[in-house]
Structure 1
């Protein structure tokens, strides 16, 4: 069950340490060379109780992704995102340097790749309408609009 998370945690370089962690109203941020964000679960009960976070191993913080406490898991996800969100790491994973696309709408760039396919997007983002016109399209959303699926439907 935890396989993909274990692989992501193991891929976080051991030498990285957390230089900054902020939990905001909408987004949680972790910085360690790269910057990672995740959605802040504002409606979740409980306390975080992570102690002092700056100076902690990024890999250790990332292991919180496996917590059943959503507050801890959101910090773990932001930590994983911080590890991979660097130009060098992305180039290594992609096998080539990054190139920048000049598309104002990131989703329009993928129109031909998703044409006629089943597509699900987590979150109701602006600009998704174009994808819906060319694919079997679903949106998973914490606060669903008409036609969206609530996020528990991801199972």
Structure 2
């Protein structure tokens, strides 16, 4: 992201904010889609994320890390939404995983992420935080108020379920 554009955003320039929104909305929408199923929730979290991005822009010390900073805000907003709706339950019970045998054959990159929708919310959040966002189990445990061991076991559970789904889809 261009330094000057970010500086204009810090000065609450609406045109600059619109340009940043246009550049980042798709990326942050994809981040939110990995954590949340409901489109209304995704839109709400995306709006909350941009509000926080624009109101906290002055805290950004290094413009070179803007995209990573914005992604972290979006992830945190998703986790906050899951906590508020009490959907972030950590469970190893199989009945929480619903497999729909009518799923069409999926393409590798885009639709693999859609398989995350078949995981329980807690497993999906941990899988995203560890495998996609790159957080270590220690940080995940703190973020979700769980033990490090629970984070590891949920990641293992998520991987096994994703493997089963992939095998069932012959991918």
TM-score range, shorter chain: 0.3 to 0.5
TM-score (norm 1): 0.33
Name the one with the larger helix percent. Answer: 2
TM-score (norm 2): 0.31
More relative contact order in 1 or in 2 (CA 8 Å, sep 6+)?
Answer: 2
Name the one with the larger strand percent. Answer: 1
